Chains A and B, each alone.
Chain A
Amino acid sequence: MLDIVLRSLWVSGTATALATAWGLPLALLLGLREFRGRRVVLNLFHTLLGLPTVTLGLLLYLLLSSRGPLGPLHLLYTPAAMMLGQALLVTPILVSLLADALRAVDPALRDLARTLGASERQASLAALGEARRGAALAVVASFNRAVSELGVAMMLGGNIHGYTRVMTTAIALETARGEILLSLQLAAVLLLIVFTLSLVAGRLGGR
């Protein structure tokens, strides 16, 4: 069971890191800059919050399958495919929550940072620091979504024992097999992880 839990943390942690890497600049852009079409892009991300995981899983499956355009990469049924899928799944959560948190920061603070000698980049980082509670929430909510989802993990990982089996796919499998006790234990661990992370993020962000 430990092996499954650690793999879940590794896959979803990497997916969240990937989503943060490409989502953070986008959130800074949408949260702190004014440009034509900003609202449309932000609304698009808000809409994608409700993207069904199986729909994304199916689209990526078609892309990554041996006949698909990315087939030669041989990513299907690997942890890398699951990471990619989960990262794409949680990107709208990360971008939406972070951009909203940044927009809630008093614009006068960026002006203040600039008058104290900050460059545009440093002023944006200062705004990000002010939005730390929202930023922590965005990252944790993204991780929690990644670690709890089933569709992408099942369709792109294939639930291969000792290789791509994670907590959610294991719970689905063990329940189908009638191993309810093991399913419940895994579900409890999953809930504990999600709950603990939310608590830690709340504390860190509140400082």
Chain B
Amino acid sequence: MLELRRVVRRYGGVEALRGVSLRVRRGETLSIIGPNGSGKTTLLRVMALLDPPDGGEVICGVERGKVTMVFQQPAFFNTTVYRNLAYGLRLRGRPEGEVRKEVRRALSLVGMRGCEERRAGELSGGEKQRVSLARALALRPELLLLDEPTSNLDPRSTRLIEGVIEEVREECTVVLATSHPFQAARLSDRVVCLFEGKVLAQGTPREIVERPKGRIRKFVRGEW
């Protein structure tokens, strides 16, 4: 579905990604784990085609409009929740009736039905994250990229978001960037471990999180 070959990405003089190669298979949930600053967000931005790589190549087998990304700090247009969710659907020229239906469906998925007319900027942190996820889901993406979707959330909101991810992974391919190895193990089929812009290891959650080795072991145990 998506393949990265020796991808390099620099910001200023710093190499955030240093020759990353990996493949995302259709229908799987892939987690990217690693400590803060390891390049997870950069990797997702390259996958979302937001930032072009400075080296290597990205082979994307998905239409551009079928890839959506949920950011760690959700951004919103300065308007209502409904208009925020409708934006992408309207860009695709969907009739208004269908837009309404999809917005309701997506908000129901994240347990936020009924908040259509609230101003997006006035939502709480957890609500923002859920609405941001709903906005991506309203587009029925083939590839959903989630950047630390539960960072800064309380346990209840985290559980809610994880529940939604569990549901949507049946319908689309998910790439989840997270600093929490056990969250990755709970939610994914495969885990890629990123350290200092390089892929250190990839495998099943069992191989990477439950029986970690070397530096990954230190990271998983919180000793990094």
Nearest CB on A from B64, distance (A): 7
In-complex Cβ contact of A116 among B45, B78, B87 (8 A): B87
> Which of B25-33, B69-77, B122-130, B190-198 lies at the interface with chain A?
B69-77
Nearest CB on B from A129, distance (A): 7
Q: How large is the interface on B (under 10, 10 to 19, 20 to 34, 35 or more residues)?
A: 20 to 34
Listed A/B pairs (23) with beta-carbon separation below 8 Å: A106-B75, A108-B73, A109-B77, A111-B50, A111-B71, A111-B75, A112-B77, A114-B50, A115-B50, A115-B67, A115-B68, A116-B88, A116-B135, A116-B136, A117-B64, A117-B65, A117-B68, A117-B88, A117-B92, A118-B88, A126-B77, A126-B87, A130-B78
| Residues of B close to A108: CB separation below 8 A | 71, 73, 75
| Residues of B close to A109: CB separation below 8 A | 75, 77
CA distance A195 to B45 in the complex (A): 46
CA distance A110 to B136 in the complex (A): 15
| Residues of A close to B92: CB separation below 8 A | 117
Q: Are B91 and A130 closer than 8 Å at their CB atoms?
A: no
Chain B 133-147 interface 0/1 with A at a Cβ cutoff of 8 Å (1 = within): 001100100000000
Say what secondary structure dominates the interface of chain A.
helix
Q: Is the C-beta of A29 less than 8 angstroms from some C-beta in chain B?
A: no
Q: Are B50 and A122 closer than 8 Å at their CB atoms?
A: no
Q: Is the C-beta of A113 less than 8 angstroms from some C-beta in chain B?
A: yes
| Residues of A close to B71: CB separation below 8 A | 108, 111-112
In addition to A116-B91, A117-B64, A129-B77, 8 A-B residue pairs with Cβ atoms within 8 Å of each other are: A108-B73, A111-B75, A115-B69, A116-B68, A116-B136, A117-B88, A117-B91, A130-B78
| Residues of B close to A118: CB separation below 8 A | 88, 91
Nearest CB on A from B50, distance (A): 5
Interface residues of B in 30-83 (CB under 8 A from A): 45, 48, 50, 64-65, 67-69, 71, 73, 75-78
| Residues of B close to A111: CB separation below 8 A | 45, 50, 71, 75
Interface residues of B in 134-170 (CB under 8 A from A): 135-136, 139
CA distance A68 to B67 in the complex (A): 58
Nearest CB on B from A100, distance (A): 17
Nearest CB on B from A62, distance (A): 47
Nearest CB on A from B12, distance (A): 12
| Residues of A close to B139: CB separation below 8 A | 116-117
CA distance A126 to B90 in the complex (A): 13
| Residues of A close to B65: CB separation below 8 A | 117
Nearest CB on A from B80, distance (A): 12
CA distance A110 to B139 in the complex (A): 18
| Residues of B close to A130: CB separation below 8 A | 77-78
| Residues of A close to B68: CB separation below 8 A | 115-117
Nearest CB on A from B160, distance (A): 22
Most B CB atoms within 10 A — which of A108, A109, A111, A117?
A117
What 6 pairs between A and B have smallest CB-CB spacing?
Answer: A116-B88, A108-B75, A117-B65, A115-B69, A112-B75, A117-B91
CA distance A30 to B1 in the complex (A): 37
Chain A 125-139 interface 0/1 with B at a Cβ cutoff of 8 Å (1 = within): 010011000000000
* Residue of chain B at shortest CB distance from A117: B65
Nearest CB on B from A89, distance (A): 32
Nearest CB on A from B117, distance (A): 14
CA distance A111 to B139 in the complex (A): 16
CA distance A109 to B47 in the complex (A): 18
Q: Are A113 and B87 closer than 8 Å at their CB atoms?
A: yes
Interface residues of A in 23-63 (CB under 8 A from B): none
CA distance A115 to B69 in the complex (A): 6
| Residues of B close to A106: CB separation below 8 A | 75
